[in-house]
């Protein structure tokens, strides 16, 4: 296919803008001719997400791509450790094979932490031998986020072997070190970790930058660090990139990296620094075969109305028009169902907590953050049992092992705001067991059983109604139409807020309450866990 385009070309390589006619042949840019007359529209490299878990969109890669291209995204650095924690290497292969069926640049990493920790039950394991084999594949470009920073710092042989496998194949290692500072951070960086997307404080990110790390500024559905970190772009423009990390489908319908670009412009940042953070810096760091509007490049670019609003008019990938005027032109592809779900239904009494003392440890959710606080407060006791106290916004929480029958782990959580009912999900990082929060044991049990019966999904129960969004692929994704899933998710998210939740994204926040590698207090299927000391702790305090 051959065609030409006339527009004002945004050249990120040379930091210039000029009117040009671009010649495309067989998916590549064959020639660029400068013009004398300014044009009405602007042509620039497509956006790239520097770190995302596609699975968190609840969409398989081919459906994720259909939404992303409408916002000018042409590629993602995708960590498939969500499905890997369910299905192992077979899950990684599923993502690669499905992503290959659509015109989009998916670049997958080898998941470094499957399971994420030894303190939870996952569906599979990926060891250093598996990592070495994955690194030999051309589709695997990097070692995905090394969450086991204690293992790195303490020189765990298996952890170091995974990092060594990446180095052997000349592939970068992504980091994951929330709150890590000082000598421990120096040891972590010295091991060869090149990036971090988990900084939630300016000073923390600054320290990492001075040690040689690159910082990916995250703005996703739950974790939002843009406001705290964006000022770093002024001083370190070549070391900053934008990422989403986790996006639920309703968020992805509304926008992607393009929204971060607009916000950075509103903050007064240099246009070229912003656009480099949204594509150029990522392409150079991972050595991606994504075009940058240079002669000979892959024809990956977008047409926008102007450089203030950045309304994406058209998106091309490898010379193929994939989106126009907000509509995706990528056709749906058939995808098989794969899963690993082996637990039976529970009873309300399985969620009862005998009161051992009157004081408990409580997880405190922070809206817009993955980190949590730990509280020490009195518990409400009825008939000898510790129960939820919606009036004080202290709700009961449980994590249920989805891979085999086991008693649920139980705890209490604050700031979800539910006044009645319960919400549940098995999109629960990183092992994807079932996590549920609610006001009473009957609704907790019902919400969990809805997911068990469907072998995956997100659910809601309030004594009168039961609602479920099924996620049959690995229990965490749907192979249905992306727009339909987004609409269903929007509806159930609205219902959760009608039950009283005050969180901006209650299901996304819920999905991180079992993520043990993020401080401070979390709950796995094996018990209450303090990420500061990396140990289990008792629910009741003496």
Predicted local distance difference test score (pLDDT) of residue 67: 98
pLDDT tens per residue across span 132-167: 999 999 999 999 999 999 999 999 999 999 999 999
pLDDT at 279 over 90: yes
Q: What residues pair up with 362 in beta bridges, in sequence order?
A: 375
Q: Is 464 helix (H, G, I), strand (E, B) or coil?
A: coil
Which residue has tokens 């991180």? 512
Contacts of 231 (CB under 8 A, 6+ apart): 202
CA separation for the pair 317, 415 (Å, rounded): 43
pLDDT at 285 over 80: yes
pLDDT tens per residue across span 325-348: 999 999 999 999 999 999 999 999
Burial (CB count <10 Å: 0-12, 13-18, 19+), residue 267: middle
Question: Strand pairing of 422-425 and 434-438?
Answer: antiparallel
Kindly state the average pLDDT of the residues 369-393: 94
Contacts of 58 (CB under 8 A, 6+ apart): 248, 249, 427, 458, 469, 471, 476, 477, 478, 485, 489
Domains of the chain, by residue range, sit at 46-289, 348-541
pLDDT tens per residue across span 239-261: 999 999 999 899 999 999 999 99
pLDDT at 221 over 80: no
Residue 141, phi-psi category: left (phi > 0), alpha (psi -120 to 50), beta (remainder): alpha
pLDDT tens per residue across span 67-117: 999 999 999 999 999 999 999 999 999 999 999 999 999 999 999 999 988
pLDDT at 435 over 90: yes
Radius of gyration of the chain (CA): 23
Predicted local distance difference test score (pLDDT) of residue 171: 98
CA separation for the pair 7, 10 (Å, rounded): 9
pLDDT at 301 over 80: yes
Q: What percent of the chain has pLDDT over 70?
A: 100
pLDDT tens per residue across span 382-417: 999 999 999 999 999 999 999 999 999 999 999 999
Question: With DSSP H G I counted as helix, E B as strand and the rest as coil, what are the percentages for the chain, rounded to 5?
Answer: 30, 30, 40
State the pLDDT confidence band at 518, using cuts at 50, 70 and 90: confident
Kindly state the average pLDDT of the residues 492-507: 95
> Considering the domain 46-289, what is its CATH architecture?
Alpha-Beta Barrel (3.20)
pLDDT tens per residue across span 21-67: 999 999 999 999 999 999 999 999 999 999 999 999 999 999 999 99
Structure tokens at 24: 């495309």
Nearest residue to 302 (alpha-carbon basis) of 291, 312, 292? 312
Average per-residue pLDDT for the chain: 96
Q: What residues pair up with 400 in beta bridges, in sequence order?
A: 434
Predicted local distance difference test score (pLDDT) of residue 418: 97
CA separation for the pair 227, 250 (Å, rounded): 22
């Amino acid at each position: 296919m051959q065609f030409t385009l006339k527009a004002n070309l945004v050249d990120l390589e040379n930091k210039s803008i000029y009117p040009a006619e671009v010649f495309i042949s067989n998916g590549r840019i064959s020639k660029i001719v400068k013009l004398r007359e300014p044009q009405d529209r602007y042509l620039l490299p497509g956006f790239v997400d520097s770190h995302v878990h596609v699975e968190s969109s609840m969409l398989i890669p081919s459906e994720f791509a259909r939404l992303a291209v409408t916002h000018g995204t042409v590629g993602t650095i995708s960590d498939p450790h969500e499905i890997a924690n369910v299905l192992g290497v077979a899950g990684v292969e599923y993502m690669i094979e499905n992503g290959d069926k659509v015109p989009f640049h998916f670049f997958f990493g080898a998941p470094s932490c499957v399971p994420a920790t030894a303190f939870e039950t996952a569906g599979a394991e990926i060891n250093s031998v598996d990592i070495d084999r994955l690194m030999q594949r051309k589709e695997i470009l990097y070692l995905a986020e090394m969450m086991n920073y204690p293992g790195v710092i303490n020189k765990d042989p298996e952890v170091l072997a995974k990092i060594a496998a990446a180095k052997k194949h000349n592939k970068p290692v992504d980091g994951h070190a929330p709150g890590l500072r000082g000598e421990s951070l120096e040891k972590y960086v010295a091991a060869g970790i090149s990036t971090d997307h988990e900084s939630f404080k300016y000073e923390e990110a600054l320290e990492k930058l001075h040690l040689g790390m690159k910082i990916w500024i995250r703005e996703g559905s739950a974790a939002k660090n843009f406001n705290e970190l964006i000022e770093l772009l002024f001083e370190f423009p070549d070391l900053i990139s934008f990422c989403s990390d986790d996006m639920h489908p309703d968020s992805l319908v509304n926008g992607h990296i393009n929204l971060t670009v607009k916000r950075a412009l509103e903050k007064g940042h240099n246009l070229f620094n912003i656009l480099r953070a949204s594509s150029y810096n990522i392409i150079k760091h991972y050595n991606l075969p994504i075009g940058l509007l240079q002669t000979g490049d892959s024809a990956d670019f977008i047409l926008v109305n102007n450089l203030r609003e950045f309304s994406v008019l058209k998106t091309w990938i490898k010379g193929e028009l994939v989106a126009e005027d907000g509509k995706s032109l990528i056709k749906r592809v058939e995808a098989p169902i794969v899963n690993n779900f082996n637990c039976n239904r529970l009873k309300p009494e399985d969620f009862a907590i005998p009161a051992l003392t009157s004081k408990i440890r409580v997880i405190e959710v922070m809206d817009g953050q993955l980190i949590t606080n730990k509280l020490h407060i009195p518990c409400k006791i009825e008939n000898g049992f510790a129960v939820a106290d919606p009036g004080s916004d202290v709700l009961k929480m449980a994590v249920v092992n989805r891979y085999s029958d086991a008693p649920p782990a139980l705890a209490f959580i604050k700031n979800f705001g539910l006044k009645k009912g319960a919400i549940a999900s098995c999109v629960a990082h990183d092992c994807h067991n079932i996590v549920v929060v609610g006001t009473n044991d009957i609704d907790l049990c019902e919400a969990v059983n809805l997911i068990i019966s469907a072998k995956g999904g997100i659910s809601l129960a309030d004594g009168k109604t039961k609602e479920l969004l099924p996620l049959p692929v690995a229990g965490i994704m749907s192979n249905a139409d992306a727009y339909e899933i987004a609409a269903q998710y929007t509806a159930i998210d609205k219902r959760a807020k009608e039950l009283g939740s005050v969180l901006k994204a209650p299901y996304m926040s819920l999905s991180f309450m079992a993520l043990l590698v993020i401080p401070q207090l979390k709950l796995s299927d094996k018990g209450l866990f303090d990420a500061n000391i990396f140990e289990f702790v008792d629910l009741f305090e003496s």
